[in-house]
Structure 1
Amino acid sequence: MQTMMKNDIRRMDLHCRSNNAAHHTDEISTRQLIVRRGQPFVLTLEMRNPFQRSDILQLTVETGPAPSGGDGTQCSFGNPAPFYASGTKAIWRYDIDPRSVLQRGVVTLSVVPPADAPVGRYFLSAETNSGRTCRESLVVLFNPWCSDDWVYLPDEKQKQEYVLNEQGAIYTGTAHYPTEMRWEFGQFEEEMVDICLKLLDVNPKYLRDPAKDVSARCNPIYVSRVVSAMINSNDDMGVLTGCWQGSYSDGISPSRWTGSVSILQRWYQTGCRAVKYGQCWVFAGVMCTVMRFFGIPCRVVTNFNSAHDTDNSLTIDEYFSDHGLNSRDGVDSIWNFHVWVEGWMKRPDLHKSNIYDGWQVLDATPQEKSGGVFCCGPAPVTAVLRGDLDLKYDTPFVFSEVNADVVKWLVSSDGSKRKIHSLCDTARVGQKISTKAIGCFARDDITNRYKFKEGSSQERTVYNQAVQRLNSKEDYAACQMMPPKGVDMVLKEETRLQNGEDIHLRLKLSNMEKKNKKMYIHINGQAMKYTRKHIQNFLYTMLQKTLLAGQDMDIPIHIPFSAYSKYMVDFDSIKVSILASDDDGDVYETEMDFALEHPPISVKVVGNARLNRPMTMQVEFKNPLNETLRGCSLTVIGCGLFRSDYLESELSDLGPNSTLTMVITTMPYKLGLKTVMVDFDCSYFRDVKGSCTVNVTP
């Protein structure tokens, strides 16, 4: 009888460079194996002796602190073929590749991680009949290229944008003036491997039950919900601390950030201590980075005039004094904008059909608790559109953010209140819902994915059904429309609204009735935060005008730079509100919120950008004022270009109408199209941002 020859494994080659390229992870690393589930990768074993296909060769993969076949966190596979119990999850397999040279002991395997494998770091070991093993590690991610994966995204251009693009845009400002802010996601920086896996390993669910948590990481619904909770630090070891009032002196102002990498690096390098500070667009930008790293298609979405409805009434009450100022802050609010993310995934937990598959709202900004934790989503965008508010997760809250009606009240000096004439505003909340367009820096308006056209029968039907599901008839009656108004007021800008210049607006009044009206007009200008918290009233004018029957009247409004300049250094926007009453006692209101444009800053590359060779950039900023700019500083970032933020904190004062020119040198360390982003601060302007694209060649 012939005795089987013992055979040892001398070496295991993971082919990191070629495997990672095939799995779209080579931008992260070519030194460690990073693969996507449901897609084969190649490894080669070099044996001490020739190998036959009938020889024993078992591979074992394990993830987490307590690997278990029943949990899908451990799997042994190969020859001899193991027996798997019915219902076993995450079964791996391999085939011997034709490229093998078995007579020389070179065994090349095509290994397939299952499409339901938990994501994370694995240890892979190979064992022959000698009993000796060879052990290596790899990282497994979700796979939007695999049709069996719940995050499968068919369109290649969408995958390029929502998984592979490291640069993006976040929209801020106001519905009247959306502004684009470039953001560096940087999900393919090599440090993201350890950082994003650490984020999962310190989440409270893992700390309570590690085995259960790791097993659940097969599910993008579960992972995205954990990430939503871990980006904020309200009830865990999360990444960011939010701050919407007070000083940022013990941290960094939210508006200073221009990318996610610095934030995630600081969190990781300080032992998972929360980074100060973030606001909604920062939470969303960082979450998008983590989601794209894990392989879940993700995009950042801005909702202009975003409601925060705390009592599920689907109405927001606003109160005004006789002079037109907001008389009190309610528990409900409308922010100029709010930013969240959408993740792409299947939702078989909601319906047998695929009706709720696709984009899901996820919000890392800590607003309300969900399941006892500050997180939000995933809420299917389709469910928001249809008003299906009984579906997981947090769909009623998201519905109200884009659909709440606004009721405005006039509060008299004695405390009594009455509705302002004709103002139950059904269209104000949820405007210009925006994300970056695919393949270019343009704004893609996706409002129609969240709600039917404002005022349409479909939109009102969905809204009314939602109200009836959530509230009593008494609450619903409070939001019925009032009779048509007798005077129409429209506020428009006359010139471009730029910080550093006077503001020119025009108020147009139209008398819709057949009689003259004596009008009492209150004009207010206020510095505001983007949350619409009032900071300071810097303009008040009271006018009396006679508006002839059926006629129009134009009233110019002039706001000098000197009136608002000191407030716009630290705050985000200006609100101009008009409250008017006529001699019949009817009250009318209109307003305009706008964020001022900053003076431009330019950045350009001088010469060519070559890999691992010095690259020179030039930054220029012209002072548009007749005043000296003091306390000037400049921050420059760029994934693949700067390994950490470049900060020049002590720049010279910049005299009136003079130009700052700075030359910066760096060493690109990645090939391809990269983005340089700059942020300039001084005594009159904060967070003046600019960017340029760099093509790094070999």
Structure 2
Amino acid sequence: MSFFYDVGDYFDDLFSGLRHDNNERLREERVEEEVVRVQDEAENEVEVKPKVVSVNLQAKTNALNSHCDKFELVNRKKATSVIRRGGPMSFDIKFNKDADLKSGLKVTLFFSFGPRPSVTKGTQAILLVTGKKTFDKNEDEWDVRFSTQDGETATIEVQIPHHVPVGVWKLAIEVSPHGNEKVRDIFRLEDQIFILFNPWSKDDEVYMEDEEKRNEYVLNDIGKVWVGSYPTARGRHWVFGQYDDAVLPACVYLLEKANLKPDERGDAVKISRAISKMVK
């Protein structure tokens, strides 16, 4: 089930969104606006249709837990969510009524990747939020658990498998009263969610066991590149700049231009070859 655009419009929308978001972040003049969509009660006091009012992706908290807190996209006034696969992410959902997920509201999350997301191809996850407090599925599967409730706001945690495609994911939330699924509302989050490889996860193919090497080859944004040939090879100081706010959107753009299928973008080898081919 997809709530997104056809292929023809998907790429234009994706690139347009990346450019727009980047310009907004550079100016840092945009104040986060809360989208309020509350249905007025009828004069006869008919029950209000449940809706999602807003979503807080907790971008900075999730980034810190995912070793992504140095990315400039995360530290802008309008923070972008940058996380790593193979771990959990948490976010807050604010409804227009009491967030009773056990018996009052039926909430379904749709995480989608690419122009034609598909559960069978691993580019979409459909998660029904219940009152369970723990993850009970294998770590290589999507899972969701209810964390806390504060009035109209519910905090949700999602387990992201270690093999999902990397790049921009989108989130949509469907909510309806329990027992009356015909009365439903769909909230499409405009914010982009960047999911990256995870060298800290033992199940990820890019896992690095040595912490010193992770610090050097993953986290360090300055170092040396070797130039020349034997016997005159020498090291040259280099700024890698992987945390610059234009880098992740540029990587997504390269992968789109490389014509790498969405369901192949969880494979580190294929991505490395695709990007190498593009930059040569």
TM-score (norm 2): 0.70
Contact 2:130 2:146 in 1 (8 A): no
Contact 1:27 1:189 in 2 (8 A): no
Residue 162 of structure 1 and its aligned partner are, at CA, apart by 0.9
Contact 2:99 2:149 in 1 (8 A): no
**Cα–Cα, structure 1 residues 5 and 154, in superposed 2: closer, same or farther, change >3 Å?**
farther
Whether 1:112 aligns to 2:159 is yes
Whether 1:25 aligns to 2:68 is yes
Structure 1 counterpart of 2:200, one-letter code: W
Of the two structures, which has the highest relative contact order with CA contacts closer than 8 Å and spacing of 6 or more?
Answer: 2
Contact 1:39 1:112 in 2 (8 A): yes
Aligned counterpart, 1:166: 221
Q: Secondary structure at the match of 2:149?
A: coil
Residue 42 of structure 1 and its aligned partner are, at CA, apart by 1.0
Whether 1:50 aligns to 2:98 is yes
Aligned counterpart, 2:278: 230
Pairing of 1:201-240 with structure 2 (within 5 A): 201-203=256-258, 205-206=259-260, 213-232=261-280
Aligned counterpart, 1:39: 87
Cα RMSD, aligned residues only:
2.1
Higher-Rg member (1/2): 1
Q: Show structure 1 runs of 5+ residues with no match.
A: 82-89, 207-212, 233-698
Aligned counterpart, 2:185: 132
Pairing of 1:146-185 with structure 2 (within 5 A): 146-185=201-240
Q: Secondary structure at the match of 1:157?
A: helix
Which string of whole-angstrom CA distances, capped at 9 and with x for unpartnered residues, describes residues 153-198 of structure 1? 1221111111111112122344334322111111110101110000
Aligned counterpart, 2:149: 100
**Cα–Cα, structure 1 residues 78 and 120, in superposed 2: closer, same or farther, change >3 Å?**
same
Q: Secondary structure at the match of 1:159?
A: helix
Taking the aligned partners of 2:223 and 2:143, their CA distance within structure 1 comes to 38
Contact 1:118 1:216 in 2 (8 A): yes
**Cα–Cα, structure 1 residues 111 and 176, in superposed 2: closer, same or farther, change >3 Å?**
same
Q: Secondary structure at the match of 2:242?
A: coil
TM-score (norm 1): 0.29
Which string of whole-angstrom CA distances, capped at 9 and with x for unpartnered residues, describes residues 246-279 of structure 1? xxxxxxxxxxxxxxxxxxxxxxxxxxxxxxxxxx
Aligned residues: 212
Q: Which has the higher strand share?
A: 1
Contact 1:75 1:91 in 2 (8 A): no
Residue 222 of structure 1 and its aligned partner are, at CA, apart by 1.5
Structure 1 counterpart of 2:98, one-letter code: P
Which string of whole-angstrom CA distances, capped at 9 and with x for unpartnered residues, describes residues 342-397 of structure 1? xxxxxxxxxxxxxxxxxxxxxxxxxxxxxxxxxxxxxxxxxxxxxxxxxxxxxxxx
Q: Which has the higher helix share?
A: 2
**Cα–Cα, structure 1 residues 165 and 120, in superposed 2: closer, same or farther, change >3 Å?**
same
Whether 1:62 aligns to 2:112 is yes
Q: Percent of counterpart pairs with the same letter?
A: 27
Structure 2 counterpart of 1:131, one-letter code: R
Which string of whole-angstrom CA distances, capped at 9 and with x for unpartnered residues, describes residues 641-698 of structure 1? xxxxxxxxxxxxxxxxxxxxxxxxxxxxxxxxxxxxxxxxxxxxxxxxxxxxxxxxxx
Pairing of 1:392-541 with structure 2 (within 5 A): none
Whether 1:192 aligns to 2:266 is no
Residue 59 of structure 1 and its aligned partner are, at CA, apart by 0.3
**Cα–Cα, structure 1 residues 5 and 148, in superposed 2: closer, same or farther, change >3 Å?**
farther
Structure 1, 35-44 or 148-157: larger mean CA deviation: 148-157
**Cα–Cα, structure 1 residues 51 and 4, in superposed 2: closer, same or farther, change >3 Å?**
farther
Contact 1:72 1:91 in 2 (8 A): no
Q: Show structure 2 runs of 5+ residues with no match.
A: 1-45, 132-139, 177-182
Residue 69 of structure 1 and its aligned partner are, at CA, apart by 1.2
